[in-house]
A and B are shown apart, each in its own frame.
Chain A
Amino acid sequence: MAFEPQPDPALPAGEPDEGFPAAPGGVDAEGHNPWYLAYRRLRRNRLALASLALFGLIVVFVLAAPLWATHVAHTGPNTTHTTEKITVDGEKREVVDVEGKPIGPVWFGAGGRFFLGADGGLGRDEMVRLMYGGRTSLFIGLTSALITTILATILGLLAGYYKGWTDGIITRTLDVIWSFPVVLLGIALGTALAVGGLKIGPLELSGNSIWIPILIIAVVYTPYMARPIRGEVLAMREKEFVESAVAQGAGSLRIMFGELLPNLWSTVIVFFTLNIANNMLLEASLSFLGAGVQAPNSSWGKMVSLGAESIYTSPLLAFAPGILILLTVLSLNVFGDGLRDALDPRSKVRLTRAEAAESAAGGAI
């Protein structure tokens, strides 16, 4: 492509641009590509950076689960200690007392065992469960957000680029999904699939596979991202750089993925971040209600629902996983906001619509 009439924001952030100081592609008036400018803006936003750091800490926390389990707590997330006694600061105490009340946080009193106490009547180590449950929550959030983002980007590109009946079919199909209260659709799918599992061609999932909630959440949130993407593509496809690509003889696929997609990157990245947050909240809600992650798997949402049963005697069992969900989602939302301001500071109107879509999504909880 000798002529690139359009600034190409698809250049990787670290791309050295000294070699092409006057090239129109990827270089703006200040002589830096847009990714570098965005990075500079983001670096100045201390709140966004702090949020990213917090999210990083949470990721490290859940990744460290096996280390903590083997070297500090000496137990697994599903190991029960109902009848055991532990020595806390030289004093013998039951993990679960005769009334079925689990031990509370002992911090390092027992050398790191039962750091946050034990859970419900089963006497499992709460800290270990929290770390392993977080792995499931984050894994579901990340994977489903990735699937949502890919699906929505492809559908939005196809609908916006081809228009006509392709657009009609895609938009109408998404409208049907959009018509359900999010949690209700998630529950319907989650419960129906939990009974018999899922089988589509060679793909077979058992009823308690964590891929079932992942796929459900990914599909349920797709319309909320595909709509704004389609809108952007519709506006963009009339621009000169598309015309010039057509004039050069570029095919449809080349125009969609070579010309339009690079201009969508900033929207896609912001949405991906916010999708992780939204999807984690939906996973937590579904698991809380029993239509998400199924036993023997656990997640923070499932732990809250267990903890809520003994909310008056051991409030920490519900609050600890709940607060971890809050911190994760909050850090992603604040970072996502910062990212959006950094990548596209003038995108006020579009972002309002995007927020409107998110709001409609979240309102159903």
Chain B
Amino acid sequence: MARFIVRRLAGMVLVLFAVSVLVFAIFNLIPNSPPAQRLAGKNATPTLVKSIEKDWGFDEPLPVQYFETMKKIFTGELISYGDQLNVDERIVEGIPASFSLAIGAAVIWLFFGVLLGFLSATRAGGWLDRAITIGSVAGISIPVFLIATLFLYFLTYKVELFPASGYVPLLENPIQWAYHLLLPWFTLAILNIGFYSRVLRSNMLDVMREDYVRTARAKGLDERRIMIRHVLRNSLIPIITLFGLDFGATLFGGAIITEVIFSLGGVGQYAAESITNLDLPPLMAITIFGAFFVVLFNALTDVVYAYLDPRIRLGSSAQ
């Protein structure tokens, strides 16, 4: 197990390096305009462009530029050109709201995804199964901003059930915290409830055909026990991989649209503001951190997976 973890971590470091190079390339090499101009954004003054050219050392060789850029991002020296504020500080400020949103939504989508998937698979072919299947396709097809605007219009305006915007820190007032986040949580969760119930249903239907399930039935175990102990438990393992990827992506700047519509002031909203101002340094930092979270959770998932399934950690490949 220890060897597996070490190998996995080494792979992770390599991917992180590649990710940072790609982000550097996106903002410095691919586009067709001088890098200083691009970093400064469309509306920058010539003096600002000149000073950026000097600050970032765009006359230096590329590896030096890459190194300097990464140093700025990871030591918290990155300055945005829109408002001249420290980028990392703004990101840290946004983290409580973004994490609250992602964690709450994840709990909801796991709970309802597994519940609906289980109900659907155990009643395959019935009317409940059909209803859940149709609901799941609708769930994965509805754009996030449509759910959000429907919630806003009908539940905060037509019927004033919920607050329309704002984030209340958890430690300040836990009840208001949850009350303000309830609509954003469901907005973000609906897509994944649809996906997870579909994936779980199809996994469970596969597992039900396995020999050990027939054996359990032959032994005379009762149906509920078979469904929960044998079928559900084995069907949940692939869900863990999925969850690792999705959660990592949602945690850091992955819930941009939800954050924007409900004005939660998190990392995602900071990213969205930076698009409007065409202010690239914050986007660069958020993209790198966002990818780091995905890679980190991917690696964590693999370790958990290897713990649950010995065939993986004993295999030769670290994939």
- Seen from chain A, the residues whose Cβ lies within 8 Å of a Cβ on chain B are 172, 175-177, 179-185, 187-199, 204, 277, 281, 284-285, 288-291, 301, 304-305, 307-308, 311-312, 315, 318-319, 322-323, 325-326, 329-330, 333-334, 337, 348-349, 351-352, 355-356, 358-360, 362-365
Contacts and interface: CB of A to CB of B under 8 A. Distances in A.
Contacts of A185: 287, 291
A360 B242 contact: yes
Contacts of B30: 189, 192-193, 198
B163 interface: no
Contact of A365 (B23, B191, B286): B191
B238 A352 contact: yes
B316 interface: no
Given A181-B249, A195-B41, A289-B260, A188 B143 contact: no
Interface in B157-190: 157
Contacts of A172: 18
Given A195-B37, A195-B38, A284-B143, A188 B31 contact: no
Interface in B260-319: 260-261, 271-272, 274-276, 278, 280, 283-284, 286-287, 290-291, 294-295, 298
A121 B116 CA distance: 44
By Cβ-Cβ distance, the 10 closest A-B pairs, closest first, are A196-B33, A363-B246, A322-B146, A199-B32, A364-B249, A330-B141, A181-B249, A359-B195, A181-B254, A329-B141
Secondary structure of the A contact surface, majority rule: helix
A315 B137 CA distance: 25
Interface of B: 15, 18-19, 22-23, 26-27, 30-33, 37-38, 41-42, 137-138, 140-146, 149-150, 152-153, 157, 191-192, 195-196, 198-199, 202-203, 205-206, 238, 241-242, 245-246, 248-250, 252-254, 256-257, 260-261, 271-272, 274-276, 278, 280, 283-284, 286-287, 290-291, 294-295, 298
14 contacts: A176-B22, A191-B275, A191-B278, A192-B38, A290-B275, A308-B149, A311-B157, A319-B146, A326-B142, A337-B137, A352-B202, A359-B192, A360-B246, A363-B192
A195 B42 contact: yes
B319 to A, nearest CB: 9
Secondary structure of the B contact surface, majority rule: helix
A189 B41 CA distance: 14
Nearest to B35: A196
A312 B157 contact: yes
Contacts of A334: 137
B236 to A, nearest CB: 13
Contact of B31 (A197, A315, A358): A197
B143 to A, nearest CB: 5
A184 B143 contact: no
Contacts of A312: 153, 157
B305 to A, nearest CB: 13
A304 B272 CA distance: 15
